[in-house]
């Protein structure tokens, strides 16, 4: 993991202090991801994080642990079991790592008392003071963490807390909202990513949300991949799948404010926004108009499954935007689209996509034309159109004596000659009708 520390606008780096509070209660001994317990995974990744922070300018760290001194029993829990194991200091990374390794989980969960005590762990308020609480459970003692959080704020204790819940029921995490920003980590990989993001946010103090606006300018569009490149280059810096969080807002991202960015939103068609500048030390909002609806192609009277693709193009543009399966729907930016359904003969139509609605491209179900010959034939199929014109449909394979072709309903003409007869006078044509879901057979 790599992290960045940015300078304030007046050219001086601000001191940042990060206090890690580690839950070592007995529940952390539960089996978790990657054949480890929660405490084993937490200790491993926390130690790696401490290593990654080594040498970061103007950063001090400290470690508080709770639930690690007194075993919990059926009749006893030590609600005062919280201790500042390693106080803030310069270059104390090895001390913190060594202490993390020796921690054993065995006690209860006094979150409120740990937060209250943590206020005294910071030497002063002349720094950006950060708490990162790593826990798998709720308060188990008699104090309310929300009350303690409010008391700290009322006293002017300037502490920014982050809560990481390991393998917790997500509904429980809402209870931590009063303490500070929280994130859930249901797997070890998720924990690694969440911890990295929290550290980045603590050091950069710059956050971003990307609003994908619908037709009413509300940031409701989501679930699409976004690429952020260093502006003017192909240097891809971040990849995110856009997400609406539990509060119904675009998720908060951590990005380096030292760069300018080009944003690519991989909608159909894709949207680009160039040369984006982020303001340091604040929450930034990037707004993109991305109203979307759906196109669905379907047979309106099919009695069986037919495999047919459709080619979707922006109206008036020949380039293929997407190839879509029959009876599937895909999402598109609001606007007009041309559709080529790859039936025989081809079916063409133009549709209008509107906000959050599905426009249907409906066609009749096909039928089958089967043919058998005594000798191979040179043959072509034509559609006899209602306006009297004749449209070529396909050529038949002249190397075989039988075959089957899936055709749209209509009247057709087969024009053929036996391959071994060397005169045009042997040309024959036969008309036939194709009906949906039925087979028409011609024996030659």
CATH number of 367-443: 2.60.40.1120
Q: What percent of the chain has pLDDT over 70?
A: 94
Distance in angstroms (rounded) separating the CA atoms of residues 240 and 197: 13
Once rounded to an integer, what is the mean pLDDT over residues 274-289?
93
Once rounded to an integer, what is the mean pLDDT over residues 145-152?
76
Backbone angles phi, psi at 133, to 5 degrees: -100, 125
Superfamily of domain covering 16-204 = von Willebrand factor, type A domain (3.40.50.410)
Closest CA to 390 of 443, 420, 345, 441: 345
Residue 176 is predicted with a pLDDT of: 65
pLDDT digit string, tens, across residues 253-273: 988 888 999 999 999 999 999
Res. 9 pLDDT band, cuts 50 70 90: very low
Residue 207 is predicted with a pLDDT of: 86
Residue 13 is predicted with a pLDDT of: 56
Residue 169 is predicted with a pLDDT of: 59
Q: Which two tokens stand for residue 298?
A: 């379907």
Q: What percent of the chain has pLDDT over 90?
A: 64
Residue 435 is predicted with a pLDDT of: 97
Fold equal for 16-204 and 292-363: no
Is the full-model pTM beyond 0.85?
no
Residue 379 pLDDT > 70: yes
Distance in angstroms (rounded) separating the CA atoms of residues 279 and 14: 16
Lowest mean pLDDT among 183-187, 258-262, 282-286, 382-386: 183-187
361 Cα distance to chain centroid: 29
* Annotated domain spans of the chain: 16-204, 207-289, 292-363, 367-443
390 Cα distance to chain centroid: 50
Lowest mean pLDDT among 99-103, 140-144, 368-372, 382-386: 140-144
Residue 206 pLDDT > 70: yes
Res. 62 pLDDT band, cuts 50 70 90: very high
Once rounded to an integer, what is the mean pLDDT over residues 26-39?
88
pLDDT digit string, tens, across residues 82-129: 999 999 998 899 999 999 999 999 999 898 889 888 888 998 888 888
Res. 156 pLDDT band, cuts 50 70 90: low
Decide: 44 and 195 in contact? Cβ < 8 Å.
no
Please state, rounded to an integer, the average pLDDT across all residues of the chain. 89
Query: Domain 207-289 falls in which CATH fold?
Result: Immunoglobulin-like (2.60.40)
Residue 4 pLDDT > 60: no
Res. 178 pLDDT band, cuts 50 70 90: confident
- CB atoms closer than 10 angstroms to residue 420: 10
Residue 437 pLDDT > 60: yes
Residue 57 pLDDT > 90: no
Once rounded to an integer, what is the mean pLDDT over residues 323-343?
97
- Looking only at Cα atoms, what is the longest distance across the chain? 105
Number of H helices, E strands in the chain: 6, 27
Peptide bond into 430 cis (omega under 30): no
Query: Domain 292-363 falls in which CATH fold?
Result: Immunoglobulin-like (2.60.40)
């Amino acid at each position: 993991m790599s992290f960045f520390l940015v300078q304030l606008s007046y050219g001086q780096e601000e001191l940042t202090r990060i206090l890690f509070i580690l839950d070592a209660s007995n529940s952390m001994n539960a089996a978790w991801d990657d054949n480890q317990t929660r405490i084993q995974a937490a200790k491993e990744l926390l130690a790696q994080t401490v290593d990654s922070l080594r040498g970061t300018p103007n950063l001090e760290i400290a470690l508080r642990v709770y639930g690690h001194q007194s075993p919990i029993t059926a009749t006893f829990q030590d609600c005062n079991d919280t201790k500042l194991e390693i106080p803030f200091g310069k270059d104390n990374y090895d001390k913190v790592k060594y202490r993390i390794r020796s921690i054993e989980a065995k006690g209860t969960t006094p979150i409120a008392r740990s937060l209250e005590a943590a206020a005294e762990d910071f030497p002063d308020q002349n720094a950006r003071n950060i708490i990162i609480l790593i826990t798998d459970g709720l308060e188990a003692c008699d104090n309310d963490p929300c009350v303690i959080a409010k008391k700290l704020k009322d006293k002017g204790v300037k502490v920014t807390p982050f809560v990481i819940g390991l393998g917790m029921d997500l509904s429980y995490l809402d209870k931590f909202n009063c303490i500070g920003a929280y994130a859930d980590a249901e797997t070890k990989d998720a924990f690694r990513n969440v911890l990295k993001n929290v550290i980045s946010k603590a050091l950069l103090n710059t956050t971003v949300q990307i609003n994908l606006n619908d037709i009413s300018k509300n940031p409701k569009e989501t679930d699409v991949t976004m690429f952020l490149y260093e502006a003017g280059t192909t240097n891809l810096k971040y990849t995110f799948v856009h997400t609406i969080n539990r509060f119904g807002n675009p998720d908060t991202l951590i990005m380096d404010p030292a760069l300018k960015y080009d944003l690519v939103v991989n909608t159909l068609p894709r949207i680009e926004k160039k040369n984006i500048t982020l303001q340091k030390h604040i929450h930034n909002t990037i707004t993109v108009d991305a109203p979307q609806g759906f196109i669905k192609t379907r047979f309106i009277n099919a009695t069986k499954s037919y495999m047919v693709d459709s080619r979707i193009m922006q109206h008036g543009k020949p380039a293929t935007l997407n190839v879509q399966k029959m009876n599937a729907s895909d999402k598109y930016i609001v606007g007009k689209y041309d559709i080529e359904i790859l039936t025989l003969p081809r079916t063409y139509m133009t549709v209008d996509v509107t906000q959050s609605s599905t426009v249907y491209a409906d066609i009749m179900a096909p039928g089958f034309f089967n043919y058998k010959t005594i000798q191979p034939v040179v043959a072509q199929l034509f559609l006899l159109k209602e306006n009297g014109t004749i449209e070529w449909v396909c050529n038949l394979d002249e190397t075989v004596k039988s075959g089957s072709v899936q055709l749209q309903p209509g009247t057709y003409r087969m024009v053929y000659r036996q391959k071994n007869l060397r005169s045009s006078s042997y040309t024959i044509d036969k008309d036939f009708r194709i009906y949906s879901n039925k087979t028409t057979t011609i024996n030659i």
